[in-house]
Amino acid sequence: MKSIKTPTRLSCEVTTVQGLCLASVLSLLAGTVARGERPSAPGAKPEFEYDGDFLSNLSGGLQQGNAYNGYLKVGETLAFGNWEDPGDENNPRREFAIHASMIYPHGGGLSQHYVGDLNGVSNYDANTGLRLFSFWAEKNFFTSRLSLRVGIWALDKGSGFWQSDGAGHFLNSGFGTFPVVSNGLVAAVYPVSAPCIRLEWRPVESQPLTLRTAVFSGDVGTPADNRHITQWNLRASDGVSIFAEAEYKAKSADGSPMGTYKAGGFYDSKWFDDLSGGQPHHGNCGFYAIADQNVRSIIRSAPQELAVFAKFAIAPARSQ
């Protein structure tokens, strides 16, 4: 969506205050690393991922043709402090962690050159180029019931937001990020990331309820404009993007998963063109819901692996 920009810029004093606030938060994150009751050596977790799609448009669309989309991701996570549960070696959370990753999407775009669809046939389709994708620090509190993350981040797979286990098996990008977000906002979704503060909270440790919210800088730029994710503008005219979500993971009496249910919303505070023909308006918002259901929890004779999912989103027509 095309947004309206004004030449307003933040003053040097405001930028300095933002820098001091960020430094204070990072100090808070790091300040308790060495105060654990059972200190442990830092844990390093390298990350390497490569995926590729060879796609062909056999009929219809703009023209027939083939395309290849590749996705390379490399990263590293350093974790410090105590395990959430020292007896569980598979639990990835520690008291404090630092993470960085880069991505290299490459190849041609089947949607752009051959199909001409809105959402994108491949969820790896992006402008070719090496990008800094994430660089953040995270601090866990109250035996990891509350976590605070600060840095460069994106609402990508693994972020928790609007992720569906069932939809994740499908190729089209509409099964990932909702089109009302990817087409209605200039948001921090693949392949673009942005400065962010994220909070995630489990109110009751024994209950499978998780609440999460994230605040991003507003206009992060398009993939073509911000090719390497090195433009971190914090202009007042760009506003902020706010996302919030509640997640509930239901389990049966024997502990087996029954389903995952999510509800959330988003708001972007900058000015937008009115696509219905009216005057420019301030702010854009939307709501969504997701359900992943294990069929066997309802029909006992169903295979254990059989599951269904549903996704729903709504946003004002003037913004889509």
pTM of the model: 0.77
Q: What's the CATH number of domain 12-319, 2.60.40, 1.25.40, 3.20.20, 2.40.160? A: 2.40.160
How do the domains of the chain map onto residue ranges? Answer: 12-319
**Mean predicted lDDT score pLDDT of the chain:** 77
Question: Residue 33: its pLDDT value, please?
Answer: 44
Residues of 79-104 as b/e, b for ≥16 C-beta within 10 angstroms? bbbbbeeeeeeeeebbbbbbbbbbbb
pLDDT class of 104 with cuts at 50, 70, 90: very high
168 DSSP assignment: G
* R_g (Cα) of the chain, nearest Å: 21
* Mean pLDDT, residues 133-154 taken together: 88
The pLDDT tens digits of the residues spanning 248-275 come to 998 877 777 888 999 999 998 877 777 6
Amino acid at the residue 30: A
Question: Residue 282: its pLDDT value, please?
Answer: 76
Beta bridge partners of 263: 246, 289
- Classify 291 as helix, strand or coil: strand
Question: Residue 82: its pLDDT value, please?
Answer: 58
**Predicted confidence (pLDDT) at residue 126 exceeds the cutoff of 90:** no
Total residue length of the chain = 320
Range of lowest pLDDT (4-18, 69-83, 189-203, 249-263): 4-18
172 DSSP assignment: S
